[in-house]
Amino acid sequence: MKISELVLAPVLALGIAAAAQAEGRQALVGGTLIDGYGGPVVHDSVILVEDDRIIAVGNQDNTAIPDGYEVISTEGMTVMPGLWEMHAHLMLTGHSDYDHWDRVYIDRLEDEIMPASAVQLLLAGVTSARDLGAPLEPSISVRDRINAGELPGPTLYVSGPFIQHQPYPGTEAFRWGVDSVRDARQHVRDLADAGVDVIKFVDQDLLEPEEARAVVEEAHARGLRVVGHSHRPAEILRGLEIGIDNFEHTGLTTAPEYPPEVMTALRDRTARGRVSGGPLFWTPTIEGLWNYTRTRENDEFLDSDCWHRGLRDDTIADIEASIQHPERLEYTQLTPLRAPTLRRKFEQLREAGVVMLLGTDSGIPMKFHCQSTWNEFDVWTRELDVPVMDAIRSSTYWAAVFMGVQDQVGTIAPGMMADIIAVDGDLLTYPSLLQDVDFVMKAGTVYVEDGQVHEERLPAHLRME
């Protein structure tokens, strides 16, 4: 069963060791509400939650709190829908050596690594996440266990393995190669039959045109949208030609900007809008590149223990050893040359009219799930001049629209899932407040309150006590 179907069902009680239960009837009272729709904020807001759903939204003048509701004060806080992380890698946790990680931890993804990544995202205020690229069976298992209430984590939308021309040696478990049209269609069918929520397609320009087109056609025939890389001009142009729905990354390595032919093609696609199946979406994943030189100069944030949650001691030690010298990592040697090109590329994408989605590549070297999403939000708003309300919409409403679940999540309104977060202060003025989310409710269950994690609502192996 796909996640878009599962999200309609109530979240069950966590059934093992200090499981968390939906807390019945709750009233969130007093905060400034940003509901995700982009309209005016609601001051002195009241949100009534029953089990996993929002049943009423208003303010203290027009919305009475019925008897039997637990009142949770949000006075002095900004209240908003739970964040979406639209480009996470739950199979990765910041280790700098992919070859080593893929070899040593492949058998620990399902029971240790991915559950740890999921709970770290949730406690950072991410209540929905798109996991792009991991072995198929662990992806489906972790997603379904979260939705069955057996694991705490964001509602997951998974792609399973990448589809690409040829997998890199040692990555065959999560990268599937294509060498014929029949092969392309069969891979998509296998993923769809397994129940993935989206198809991830990379290096589409390296396939024969009919092979690349077959991937997208088969995915769309099965009701699945396609997410594609945008590292090269030819990759973007091929993706636009075959109908890729959402491009990822800013790409083009150290080139100063997207070339004219790419911009012309982008404007042509965004001008067609609904005629081409809706907006063209783009997830720039910009912060890891933007902030690398700062990390190299001051890596103190790497010492935070928030990313230790759920990981075994030997895993933590291995990651720590791999990032002792950020300046020496082969993965980042070109980054200082790429960073100066990012602002122009980001501006070009916005000028072209794409709909931006907030995602981070969370899990790549030195990018931890407990930190990545707010870091991306901060760069967009503080460095790249994106209005805070637009960034909120990119990380709530528009993400839900892309996944086709905007009638269930992504906004705060009656009938929606009770995925709600809050920060202490004025988020519209101080977007960096998202680095410390003070309140996290997912499907009616409160996991963080007054800035403190309800450890008793987590399975024992995911607690930090």
String of DSSP letters for 352-392: HTPEE-----BTSTT--TTTHHHHHHHIIIIIS---HHHHH
- List the beta bridge partners of residue 445: 442
Question: Any idea what DSSP says for residue 111?
Answer: I
The single residue listed with the structure tokens 């019945």 is 24
pLDDT (mean) for 32-51: 98
Residue 419: which region, alpha, beta or left (left: phi > 0; alpha: psi -120 to 50)? beta
pLDDT for 342 beyond 50: yes
What pLDDT does residue 23 have?
53
Share above pLDDT 70 across residues of the chain, in percent, rounded to a whole number: 95
329 three-class SS: coil
- The pLDDT score that the predictor gives to residue 277 is 82
Least confident of 7-11, 71-75, 178-182: 7-11
Q: Which of 8-12, 309-313, 384-388 has the lowest mean pLDDT?
A: 8-12
User: What's the mean per-residue pLDDT of the chain?
Assistant: 94
Residue 20 pLDDT more than 90?
A: no
- pLDDT above 90 covers what percent of the chain? 93
What is the per-residue pLDDT across 42-71, written as a single tens digit (0 to 9) for each? 999 999 999 999 999 999 999 999 999 999
What's phi and psi for 198, nearest 5 deg? -160, 155
Would strands 198-201 and 155-158 be described as parallel, antiparallel, or unpaired? Answer: unpaired
Q: Work out the pLDDT band at 276, boundaries 50, 70, 90.
A: confident
Q: What is the pLDDT of residues 378-436, one digit of tens each?
A: 999 999 999 999 999 999 999 999 999 999 999 999 999 999 999 999 999 999 999 99
pLDDT attached to residue 433: 98
How far is C-alpha 34 from the chain's CA centre? 20
Mean pLDDT of 76-96: 98
Residue 11's pLDDT band, with cuts at 50, 70 and 90, is very low
Least confident span in 183-192, 201-210, 267-276, 361-370: 267-276
Tell me, what's the pLDDT at 357? 98
For the cut 50, the answer to whether the pLDDT of residue 232 exceeds it is yes
* Top-level class of domain 83-403: alpha beta
Conformation bin of residue 251: beta by default, left when phi > 0, alpha when psi is -120 to 50: left
Reference 59, options 104, 27, 23, 97; nearest CA is 27
CB 358 within 8 A of CB 399: yes
Give span(s): CATH 2.30.40.10, the chain: 3-82+408-462
Question: How many whole angstroms separate alpha carbon 3 and alpha carbon 417?
Answer: 14
Collect all residues with Cβ–Cβ distance below 8 Å to 222 and sequence separation of at least 6: 188, 189, 192
Average pLDDT over residues 446-451: 98
| Residue 1, pLDDT score | 43
Distance CA(321)–CA(96), nearest Å, equals: 9
Four-way CATH pick for 3-82+408-462: 2.30.40.10, 2.60.40.420, 3.90.550.10, 2.60.40.10: 2.30.40.10
**According to the model, what pLDDT value does residue 22 have?**
42
* Residue 219, pLDDT score: 98
Return the HEC string of 274-287.
HHHCCCCEEECCCH
Question: For the segment 129-164, what is each residue's pLDDT rounded down to a tens digit?
Answer: 999 999 999 999 999 999 999 999 999 999 999 999
| Non-local CB neighbours of 420 within 8 Å, separated by 6+ positions | 28, 47, 49, 54, 79, 80, 81, 82, 412, 439, 441
CB 379 within 8 A of CB 287: yes
Tell me what the mean pLDDT of segment 445-452 comes to.
98
Closest alpha carbon to 170 in 231, 96, 100, 110: 100
Enumerate the CATH 3.20.20.140 domain ranges in the chain, comma separated: 83-403
Under 8 Å between Cβ of 280 and 270 = yes
* pLDDT at res. 157: 98
Which segment of 6-15, 21-30, 203-212, 253-262 scores lowest on mean pLDDT?
6-15
The pLDDT confidence band at residue 96, using thresholds 50, 70 and 90, is very high
Which residue type sits at 449? E
Q: What is the pLDDT of residue 273?
A: 86
